[in-house]
Amino acid sequence: MVTPVIEVRDLEKIYPDGTRAVRGISFEVEEGEFFGFLGPNGAGKSTTIKILITLLRKTGGTVRIMGLDVSRQTDAIRRVIGYAAQEVGVDDDLTARENLMLQGELYHMERTLLRQRTDELLELMDLASDADRLAGSFSGGMRKRLDLATGLMHRPRLLFLDEPTTGLDPQNRANLWIYLDRLNKQEKLTIFLTTHYMEEADKLCNRLAIIDHGQIKTLGSPRQLKQELGGDVIALRFATNGQDVTTQAQQACAVLSGAPFVANIDRFDEGINVYAQNGGSVVPDVLRLLDDAGVHVTQLSLTSPSLDDVFLKHTGYKIRDEELDRNWRNQRGGPFGRRRR
């Protein structure tokens, strides 16, 4: 049997103030995978990643990185992994090339190899034509690409990324996805990424875990997780009509849960999601059943399931990107800027 690149068993982290940030999680990542940790702010993503890269001590459980024990073989692990923090760690007063060269020198890379690897990464990240410009003059997206490249100088086989696109505008975010995908495929790099963006996890990851309150709620490929919902999503919203929406939603659940064509129902604040195969053909039946029961539908939409629906199913609430972005801006930056050790 092949040893997994990442092996986590019953991992637990309780901070000194008593916060139980990680509550007994287990998962494995195989060589070559692009694995995602998807969850809202405070879910325990950064705590987990910091333990995996040996920057934070765990409270319980076992973690092996390429067969190495995180508690006892920290140096060996640090040599084979790369890490890019939430905050960009490039030096603005150096050119792109100088940033890379300096990083390689920190790893005591041999001179010829150092030059070669620098050129290779500048090329890979489409920074070759800007190699001799100061990083301080780069756009946000370019700085992030340079930051990624510095983390790859020592040719790690495994790369950890903590919310790599948080703080980038949607265009730069989508642009960075191309490079991350390229690293995974061309450099055959195993990537462990955390994110609170559903679309990002959906686009990039072969497999992902949804994490909330320090626990893994579900794990699988995006396609698998969506299929498990049981078909198309019919999202329903209700009129208040004197009654409150909750009562209407409860009534709708009661009526529809008995219907043979309904695979699953999720309730949330604004309404309900009904899952059914061939959603389009059952919509008239759904409406008729609800009308007969006196439930007034004000809005109906029919979609294929998305990761948002998966998330909602397993956590009971929706993740709101704008809100999370705002929180993120208010947080202080990560303590692990590569240059500031």
Residues in contact with ligand ADP by the rule CB under 6 A? 15, 17, 19, 21, 39, 41-47
Residue 70, contacted partner among Mg ion, ligand ADP, none, CB below 5-8 A by kind: none
Interacting residue with Mg ion among 8, 25, 46, 143 (CB under 5 A):
46
Pick between residue 5 and residue 21 the one whose CB is nearest to ligand ADP.
21
* Alpha-carbon distance values, 54 to 57, 65, 160 (Å): 7, 10, 12
- The region of 44-52, 197-205, 283-291, 313-321 touching Mg ion under the rule CB under 5 A is 44-52
Shortest Å, Cβ 40 to Mg ion: 10
Pick between residue 316 and residue 335 the one whose CB is nearest to ligand ADP.
335
Shortest Å, Cβ 89 to Mg ion: 16
Q: Helix, strand or coil for residue 115?
A: helix
Give the span between the Cα atoms of 87 and 85, in whole angstroms: 5
Cβ 158 vs Cβ 137: under 8 Å? no
Shortest Å, Cβ 272 to ligand ADP: 28
Residue 39, contacted partner among ligand ADP, Mg ion, none, CB below 5-8 A by kind: ligand ADP
Pick between residue 14 and residue 324 the one whose CB is nearest to Mg ion.
324
Write out the two tokens for 226: 């969506």
What's the longest Cα–Cα distance across the chain?
79
Is 48 a binding residue for Mg ion by CB under 5 A? The answer is no
Q: Which of these, 125, 131, 159, lies nearest to 144 by C-alpha position?
A: 125
Write out the two tokens for 283: 């919509």
Cα of 169 vs its chain's centroid, Å: 17
Which residues are 60's β-sheet partners? Answer: 12
Pick between residue 18 and residue 242 the one whose CB is nearest to ligand ADP.
18
Pick between residue 19 and residue 281 the one whose CB is nearest to ligand ADP.
19
* DSSP H or E segment with residue 159: strand 158-162
Residue 17, contacted partner among ligand ADP, Mg ion, none, CB below 5-8 A by kind: ligand ADP
Pick between residue 99 and residue 166 the one whose CB is nearest to ligand ADP.
166
Is 118 a binding residue for Mg ion by CB under 5 A? The answer is no
Give the span between the Cα atoms of 63 and 26, in whole angstroms: 9
Other beta carbons less than 10 A from residue 3's beta carbon:
11
Shortest Å, Cβ 102 to ligand ADP: 28
Residue 338, contacted partner among ligand ADP, Mg ion, none, CB below 5-8 A by kind: none
141: CB partners within 8 A, 6+ apart: 168, 171, 172, 175, 176
**Which residues of the chain form contacts with Mg ion (CB under 5 A)?**
45-46
